[in-house]
Amino acid sequence: MSAEPPSAAKSKSELATEFGVSVKTLMRWLTSWNKRLVDAFAEPIDVSGQVFTPRDTRRIREQFS
């Protein structure tokens, strides 16, 4: 089985499964992390859609892995 490229777009449920948590828990993590990013004047991750961009997917993996 070939590994998926780390920059592929992922849905909320795919990322939640990857981290072994529910979508609700993933969204709580991201909401908390986004608040810290805004406080640090960094660009927050858009959590309003169903799919994260490849860039956001990479940032989430780097933060929570």
- Quick one: pLDDT at residue 8? 82
* pLDDT by position in tens, the chain (length 65): 445 555 688 899 999 999 999 999 999 999 888 888 777 777 888 888 888 888 888 888 888 87
Task: Evaluate whether 9 touches 53 at the Cβ level (below 8 Å).
Answer: yes
* Count of other CB atoms within 10 angstroms of residue 60: 20
- Quick one: pLDDT at residue 7? 64
- Quick one: pLDDT at residue 17? 93
| Domain assignments of the chain as residue spans, ordered by start | 10-64
Q: What is the pTM of this model?
A: 0.66
Return d(Cα 44, Cα 1) in angstroms, integer.
33
